[in-house]
Amino acid sequence: MENQKKRQAAYMKRSLLDQGYLDEQFIHLEELQDDANPNFVEEVVKLYYTDSARYVRNIELALENGPYDFARLDNMMYQFKGSSSSIGARRVKRQCSQFQEYCNAKNIEGCRNIFQEVKQEYDTLKTKLETYFQTDRHEKDARKRYSQRAEDPLRVCLGRELWKDSFTDVESKHQIRCEQAHHHDLPSSS
């Protein structure tokens, strides 16, 4: 049962990697997490979105009206791309590179068009990562609660109830009840 829930976050991450939303830098960041800093990557990603909002805004403004300062546009994009690279945002990074190419070619329409792509990838990734972190946190909490309950026999019953309620899918609940019935002679009600 536990494995099913554990797989969800891992599956999401695998999917994000396979589809190219993320690259191995994201994995490197996760390797920096430990018990004392379990949400480090989520913190970094949150910081990225807070911090880079101004780059996005400034680039948008700079693209609105001429005269167009391509050097400045390129510089802003360079900084935005750097942060994106630091969190492993592969697709965003790729669109940023394309933008820089249009800057070098002094092609303002190209810049504008590709910037829409940049923003789209940026927003899509945000949603996907929010879901991933939520799922991951949920799983971590569940595992923690389970291990805490298992350690303290006096709280086992209370803990088990709370733990059961943390899972919403029917199959998991059924499995839990089956396990309990098997191990502790409790009625296996549905």
Residue 85 binds other proteins (CB under 8 A): yes
Residue 81 binds other proteins (CB under 8 A): yes
Show the binding pattern over residues 39-78: x = contacts other proteins (CB under 8 A), - = does not.
-x--xx--xx--xx-------------------------x
The nearer residue to other proteins, 37 or 124, going by C-beta atoms, is 37
Could you say which of 8, 39, 58, 86 contacts other proteins (CB under 8 A)? 86
Residue 111 binds other proteins (CB under 8 A): no
Rounded CA-CA distance 81/28 in Å is 18
Residue 30 binds other proteins (CB under 8 A): no
Q: Which residues contact 22 (CB under 8 A, 6 or more apart)?
A: 13, 16, 88, 89, 90, 125
Give the dihedral of Cα atoms 90, 81, 73, 60; nearest 10 deg: 70
Point out which residues bind other proteins (CB under 8 A).
Answer: 25, 28-29, 31-32, 34, 37, 40, 43-44, 47-48, 51-52, 78-79, 81-83, 85-88
